[in-house]
A and B are shown apart, each in its own frame.
Chain A
Amino acid sequence: MSARRGVYRRLRALLAAALAIIAAFAVYPAASLAEQEKPVLIVCESGEQFLLEALLSACSTPYTAVLRADYNKEALGYTDKVVTTLADVASDAIKSGITPLCVGDGFPGNNSVEFETVYNTSVEVSFEEHTQITRFINSMSVLSAYNGEAFGKLTLGTRGDYPFAAICADAWYVPWFMDGDLSYLLLGELIHRYIEADGVGEMFVLIDEIYPFSDFEAIKEAADVLYSNGIPFIARIMPVYTNMDYPSFQRYADMLRYIQAKNASIVVHDPVVIGEVTDAELLSENLATFDETLEELNIFTLPMPFRPLTLPQATLANLGSENKPFGSFAFDTMIPLELDGERTVLEQTDTLNKRWLTIGSYMERYTSERYLYAPVEVNEDYTYLLIKGEAPIFENFFSVGNNVLLVIVGSSLVVFTALFFIGYRLYRRKFFR
């Protein structure tokens, strides 16, 4: 009897262990999932907020941004990653067992790092195959000593090389970056590594902020140029909430169908809200109605839960690559085209082609559908008049006249000045004899 009881006891223990193991496996993925869904916490001043948010969005990572004034230590309980420009927040994170990413020069030196402020220096930023033209900086903070792994490189004139960032045991440090610069993209690369994200980003071309009263001909022409160069693009359209039955909206839809057929990925721009959203439900309803209306008109919008980083052509122009193909960044980027700038779309496309950029198709992430275009007759009523672009009249006349008058007025001023000096002598002679 006692032997049988011993077997039962062993079996019960085995069963309990098996159940515990099964439970652990059941809990672990959930825990892992829960951990993955925890947003990154950004704590900073208001001026830095949108820069850091843009990078995290480009890394397709959910985040919560909190300004210093609204910061509370309890927020650290809901995250595993903290990106901050504030020393006290970094200190709280470290105490909570989180390794923060410390951005900027607001951090004191410690056992891991030492900082130095450098004045009036040239800076060359480089990372893997990417380089940038040398800039002159009035003052910047650099890592003069670090106990960890270097990330990226800054070459400061004759002073030598410094790491762009240091990955240390207690925290990751990035003392300096500049918006519109390779250093900003490098910060994005660092964040991508920090949040342990996978994958490589894509580059997209963007035609942004398309309104029902934008220049349709210019947009269509841009779409034609891009299509003939085999370049897909994102067309970000501004949401419309009213008057969607007007002929002007029908013309707008017709234009969108046209560019959709030219490999445009139609994405709805975030609504521009002045102040705070007072009725989120109404806004949501309006956006849904807009989407439905577009769908009825055969325009299929794509979601953009995480916005790629905008890479202006001016910034791109300063970047170089050691390889023939430009390469890509760890996160998504989009290059906006300027439709009313000095350069034509053809010139801009030509530049993109010459840079050996690999332009991705945003649409292919969501669908393999391709669209055709069939023109639709629309009532000519309510046609918007384009005021911009009217060439001033009599430009030549005024240009020539301006120069002639400048000479006449200038000569008259010279004559008057001479008369003044003559008059001054006369004055002194007459009244101070």
Chain B
Amino acid sequence: MGFVNALAFGAILSIWLLLLVNVSLTVAGYVYYSKTEHTDVPALKDYPMVSVMIPAHNEAMVIVQTVTAILHFDYPASRYEVIVINDNSSDNSAELLENLKRLYPEHTLKIINTDNVTGGKGKSNALNIGYAQAVGDIIAIYDADNTPERGALKILVSELMNDDTLGAVIGKFRTRNRSVSLLTRFINIETLAFQWMAQAGRWQLFRLCTIPGTNFVIRRTILDAIGGWDEKALADDTEISFRIYMMGYKIKLQPKAVTWEQEPQVLGVWFKQRKRWVKGNLYVLAKFLPMVFKKEAKYIRFDIIYYLCIYLLLLFSLLVSDALLLGDFVGLVHSTLAGFSLLLWLMAILLFVVGTYITVTTERGELNFSNFFLIMLMYFTYSKLWMIVAAAGFIDFAIDKVFKRKAKWYKTERFSS
């Protein structure tokens, strides 16, 4: 068959298998969306004590808005505390937080300021610091750039309290600054598509979700059992999700609990953030892959294989197929492999566009023609950028492993609203 032909064959097969998986997830996700629209959030009989933790590092630009929104939750003030871990900040976050504390004396607002000795080791470390001082039975996490809606916390807690099989409940996140640039428009579409396709679809089919790092609640007992967050993990959310599943709990998506977060507005910031996510997910994959055939990993088997497929198989297949196309064009390589018709590839692109468009139409203001064209543009631009980010993250991760470099947390730059 030849090496080149074998590569091409493997790449084409993988791309199509994953495309079909994503089609299934999209349909399943939409079914779940319809269900949630017709299902009320369960009522909350008692209000358990919740510790809302916000890790922050030099977040002066956004922290006030975030904490203010959290202090306005539709949840009894006496039944939740807000813990801001102001982690090794060099800006005036501490001062701003103290002002807020004075403004809202009826709320329990704990501010933990750390320096580069006690803190400065990334989000997981900051969360562990905050966790040590948390008193709630339920822990809620919000990123410093989030503006959750008033009902978010109550909805999340209600779900959690009404189903003992749930270890955590995650809400939906939207892009606050989606109109600022073309990049943020792409991110807006991407986050909606991911949540509806990957999260809702996986929940509908396999009762699986992954914690997105913000706007979620988790039982304290679980954190006690697993010893808090893994400080080596750059993708703390994915890592903790796997551990929750291995304990036999589930993680559910409740899309009615919404938070609005600020996304990167420039390409450089976006690249760094996404590269960190890729590295983080690869770390988690490397950590849990050896268990894939073990009994205790039965709940996370699909996710392990899914992440493996996305970060290794899909990435590798896309890179190989693009490289072979380029190589054939310049005459470096030649494949005699027959292929699928142009019509099929065009239909597949249309499928991607239509499938993604369906997911964005679940949100107010997103059902418009410009989103349709944006998604078409995304296919040829943003999706290709993902490949570059993923490849860069992969290489970086490999270098870290070979040279035993410590994973470094690069904080995402904020922009004034």
A interface residues with partner B (beta carbon < 8 Å): 387, 390-395, 397-399, 401-402, 405-406, 408-410, 412-413, 415-417, 419-420, 422-424, 426-427, 430-431
Residues 194-211 of chain B, each 1 if its beta carbon lies under 8 Å from chain A, else 0: 000000000000000000
* Given A409-B347, A413-B354; A424-B367 close (CB under 8 Å): yes
| B37 neighbours in A (Cβ, 8 Å) | 426, 430
Q: When the two chains form their complex, are residues B336 and A412 in contact, meaning their CB atoms are under 8 A apart? A: no
Query: Is B344's CB within 8 Å of the partner chain A?
Result: yes
**Besides A393-B336, A419-B358, A423-B367, 6 other CB < 8 A contacts?**
A392-B339, A393-B5, A405-B16, A408-B20, A416-B358, A423-B30
Docked Cα-Cα span, A317 to B199, in Å, equals 65
Q: When the two chains form their complex, are residues A392 and B23 in contact, meaning their CB atoms are under 8 A apart? A: no
B interface residues with partner A (beta carbon < 8 Å): 1, 5, 9, 16, 20, 23, 26-27, 30, 33-34, 37, 334, 336-341, 343-344, 347-348, 350-351, 354-355, 357-358, 361-362, 364, 367
Q: When the two chains form their complex, are residues A419 and B347 in contact, meaning their CB atoms are under 8 A apart? A: no
Q: When the two chains form their complex, are residues A420 and B9 in contact, meaning their CB atoms are under 8 A apart? A: no
Q: Can you list 29 A-B contacts with CB-CB less than 8 angstroms, sorted by A residue number?
A: A390-B336, A392-B338, A392-B339, A393-B5, A394-B338, A395-B338, A398-B338, A401-B340, A405-B344, A406-B341, A406-B344, A409-B347, A412-B27, A412-B351, A413-B347, A416-B26, A416-B27, A416-B354, A416-B355, A417-B354, A419-B358, A420-B357, A422-B34, A423-B30, A423-B361, A424-B361, A426-B37, A427-B361, A430-B37
B347 contact from A401, A406, A420, A423, Cβ within 8 A:
A406
Which secondary structure dominates where chain B touches chain A? helix
Docked Cα-Cα span, A409 to B345, in Å, equals 10
Nearest-neighbor residue (CB-CB) of A420 within chain B? B358
Nearest-neighbor residue (CB-CB) of B29 within chain A? A419
Docked Cα-Cα span, A204 to B338, in Å, equals 40
Shortest C-beta distance, B339 to chain A (Å), equals 6
Q: Shortest 6 CB-CB distances between A and B: which pairs? A: A392-B338, A395-B338, A398-B338, A416-B354, A431-B364, A409-B347
**Interface-central residue, A406, A412, A424, by most chain B CB under 10 Å:** A412
| B347 neighbours in A (Cβ, 8 Å) | 406, 409-410, 413
| B338 neighbours in A (Cβ, 8 Å) | 392-395, 397-399
B344 contact from A409, A412, A420, A424, Cβ within 8 A:
A409
| B16 neighbours in A (Cβ, 8 Å) | 405
B340 contact from A387, A391, A398, A415, Cβ within 8 A:
A398
| A415 neighbours in B (Cβ, 8 Å) | 27
* Given A393-B1, A406-B343, A413-B347; A423-B354 close (CB under 8 Å): no
Shortest C-beta distance, A232 to chain B (Å), equals 38
Which secondary structure dominates where chain A touches chain B? helix
Docked Cα-Cα span, A409 to B19, in Å, equals 10
Shortest C-beta distance, A10 to chain B (Å), equals 92
Shortest C-beta distance, B380 to chain A (Å), equals 19
Nearest-neighbor residue (CB-CB) of A397 within chain B? B338
Nearest-neighbor residue (CB-CB) of B334 within chain A? A387
Q: When the two chains form their complex, are residues B351 and A416 in contact, meaning their CB atoms are under 8 A apart? A: yes
A427 contact from B351, B354, B367, Cβ within 8 A:
B367
Docked Cα-Cα span, A398 to B337, in Å, equals 9
Shortest C-beta distance, B329 to chain A (Å), equals 15
Shortest C-beta distance, B27 to chain A (Å), equals 6
| A426 neighbours in B (Cβ, 8 Å) | 34, 37
Nearest-neighbor residue (CB-CB) of A423 within chain B? B361
Nearest-neighbor residue (CB-CB) of B339 within chain A? A398
Q: When the two chains form their complex, are residues B343 and A394 in contact, meaning their CB atoms are under 8 A apart? A: no
Docked Cα-Cα span, A34 to B412, in Å, equals 92
B341 contact from A402, A412, A416, Cβ within 8 A:
A402
| B367 neighbours in A (Cβ, 8 Å) | 423-424, 427
Docked Cα-Cα span, A423 to B343, in Å, equals 27
